[in-house]
Amino acid sequence: MIRLFKYENYEVKVEPEALLLTPFKILYERDKSKDKSMAKQELAFVYFMKDPRSDYQYLIDERDREKEVIIGLGMPEKWKPDSAVKDAMMFYERFKPISAGLLEDTRIAVNKLRELLRNIDLTEVDKNDKPVYTLNTITATIKQIPSLVKDLDEAERSLAKEIAQSDKVRGASEKAIYEDL
């Protein structure tokens, strides 16, 4: 898992080496302000949109996620990601572990099932006037929901554990006292 961004103390921290990578460097260098506030917001936008650790990942629809991230970051109302921000997002997304992609796909599938259950029309009939959705089909589907929820929750915890272990392997832990002596 790439550790170029991390969320700490209500702020997205950008590791200095991230700014050596062209897509992030472009965002940083084009912000001519002294405090680099727009660059920081755009890099935070990339993190919240694409990092599996982002609290916004529960929003399956990317347009919904985009709106909420923009609001959450307090970005200008009319701001939209331009090609440079989109390039940075695509670049960052390539560093996602396969397990994060599988979890994202699972969330999408579970969300589609949720939408299907919400939109079941019990009065809908086929060309032979037989119900499209039978009570047995609906109840069988509903009985599977608890195990789906449990499996999704387990997958999310497993990914969080994998990311935490990856952080330790890559040296994200703090040094012990006198370690440099």
Q: Which of 61, 96, 131 is the endpoint of a domain?
A: 96
More reliable by pLDDT, 148 or 68: 68
More reliable by pLDDT, 60 or 25: 25
Name the residue range of residue 29's domain. Answer: 1-96
* CA 65 to each of CA 39, 59, 68, 78, 173: distance values in angstroms, whole numbers, following the listed order: 19, 5, 5, 16, 31
- Indicate if 110 and 54 belong to the same structural domain: no
Q: Structurally, how many domains does the chain consist of? A: 2
- Indicate if 130 and 62 belong to the same structural domain: no
Specify the pLDDT at position 177.
44
What predicted TM-score, i.e. pTM, was given to this entire model? 0.70
- Indicate if 78 and 1 belong to the same structural domain: yes
pLDDT digits (tens, 9 = 90+) for 96-153: 777 777 777 888 888 888 888 888 888 888 999 988 888 888 888 888 888 777 877 7
- Indicate if 115 and 161 belong to the same structural domain: yes
Task: Point out which residues pair with 59 in neighbouring strands.
Answer: none
